[in-house]
Amino acid sequence: MNTNMEKPYVVGIDIGGTNTVFGIVDARGTIIASGAVKTQIYPTAEEYTDAVCKGLLTLIKANGGVDKVKGIGVGAPNGNYYNGTIEFAPNLPWRGVIPLAAMFEERLGIPTALTNDANAAGIGEMTYGAARGMKDFIMITLGTGVGSGIVVNGQMVYGHDGFAGELGHTIIRRGGRLCGCGRKGCLETYCSATGVTRTAREILTARTEPSLLRDIPAESITSKDVYDAAVKGDKLAKDVFDFTGEILGEALADFIAFSSPEAIILFGGLAHAGDFIFKPVQKALEENILPIYKGKTKLLFSEMKDSDAAVLGASALAWELKDLK
């Protein structure tokens, strides 16, 4: 993609609810240097941008300086591709509309593009991962929240305002769990990492059987703890994944009725639970899908490393950027 040998690198930044990962990427899609900061510890977007820029500049200086970087691509929750802004992201500490692309441009003097973090992951998957060669697929990111990147006719779906593809905030249980977005029953409240821990706590309270999870204080149980317990054969932990997977499969069946994708690709922390999550998702998907779609859409795990997909995807945006005036 890069024809400008004076500026052989792009930067990809993946802003997650918990961590921000950034990397310098060369024209072959190799991450030649990377770093990270904790997203949640910065009370203002300015302090956050400062911290990311400091980390980035250290990497950039070690690799030939700012003049070698063609552009920066950012993947962020509620990222608006058209405006370069993060707008009302429920899982980030900063409220309102944050002109993050402009803030990076001002601080670093490097042109910057921004999109939804899940869209960035989707672009990464399409370029380097399981969606290579696909024209219609849906990327579902299962992290702190649940995100999605939808590709139709080979193009990312941004919608008329740049915010399309918030499938984590479709309602899967009307009147169900309260979501960070202020509504009830969003997919994200069940199928994110935090949703898994909520489910674990609910089942631990509702039932009396022994479980390895009872050795952990309820408020500090993580989805990783649930996975570890399931690996050790813990029935209750497996039931947590069955419940999570069933709800996700029901949701995916409805998503297929929208864009009839060739594949749905599961990405992020929860996707690492392997068969514990894959089998109940596949089962619920088959049981809930409209007959005309049956057996047509592949359910796949991402082929990218979690951080790489988002960083590479975000960085891919940057090759197309023009120099700043």
DSSP code of residue 178: B
Taking the least distance from each CB to a second copy, the nearer of 228 and 254 is: 254
x-marked contacts with a second copy along 239-278 as a string, rule CB under 8 A: -----------x--xxx-xxxxxx----------------
* Token pair listed for 159: 């919608």
Q: What are phi and psi of 218, to 5 degrees?
A: -50, -40
**Strand order, beta sheet including 155-156:** 155-156, 146-152, 137-142, 263-267, 298-301
Cβ-Cβ contacts under 8 Å for 208 (sequence gap 6 or more): none
Taking the least distance from each CB to a second copy, the nearer of 77 and 129 is: 77
Considering CB under 8 A, how many residues would be counted as binding a second copy?
46
Taking the least distance from each CB to a second copy, the nearer of 135 and 235 is: 135
Contact between 174 and a second copy per CB under 8 A: yes
Amino acid at 264: I
For residue 30, count other CB atoms closer than 10 A to its CB. 11
By CB under 8 A, the residues from 216 to 245 that bind a second copy are none
- Give the shortest CB-21-to-a second copy separation in angstroms: 24
Rounded to whole angstroms, the Cα distance separating 15 from 20 reads 4
| Residue 91 exposed, middle or buried by CB count within 10 Å (0-12, 13-18, 19+) | buried
Taking the least distance from each CB to a second copy, the nearer of 111 and 147 is: 147
Instruction: Decide: 156 and 122 in contact? Cβ < 8 Å.
Output: yes
Q: What is the DSSP string of 83-118?
A: TTEEES-TTSS--SEE-HHHHHHHHH---EEEEEHH
Contact between 87 and a second copy per CB under 8 A: yes
Contact between 181 and a second copy per CB under 8 A: yes
Quickly tell me which residue has 């795990």 as its tokens: 301
Q: Which of 31, 59, 60, 164 binds a second copy (CB under 8 A)?
A: 164
Contact between 150 and a second copy per CB under 8 A: yes
Cβ-Cβ contacts under 8 Å for 295 (sequence gap 6 or more): none
Contact between 299 and a second copy per CB under 8 A: no
| Residue range at the interface with a second copy (CB under 8 A); choices 27-35, 53-61, 159-167, 194-202 | 159-167
Contact between 84 and a second copy per CB under 8 A: no
SS (H, E, C) 35-51: EEEECCCCCCHHHHHHH
| Residue range at the interface with a second copy (CB under 8 A); choices 12-20, 235-243, 269-277, 287-295 | 287-295
| Residue range at the interface with a second copy (CB under 8 A); choices 47-55, 145-153, 198-206, 229-237 | 145-153
Q: Using alpha carbons, list the distances in angstroms from residue 5 to 28, 67, 295.
A: 13, 11, 46
| Residue range at the interface with a second copy (CB under 8 A); choices 139-147, 209-217, 290-298, 311-319 | 290-298
Taking the least distance from each CB to a second copy, the nearer of 166 and 306 is: 166
Contact between 118 and a second copy per CB under 8 A: no
Taking the least distance from each CB to a second copy, the nearer of 197 and 199 is: 199
Binding site for a second copy (CB under 8 A): 78, 87-88, 134-136, 150, 152-153, 155, 157-167, 169-171, 173-174, 181-183, 250, 253-255, 257-262, 288, 290-293, 296-297
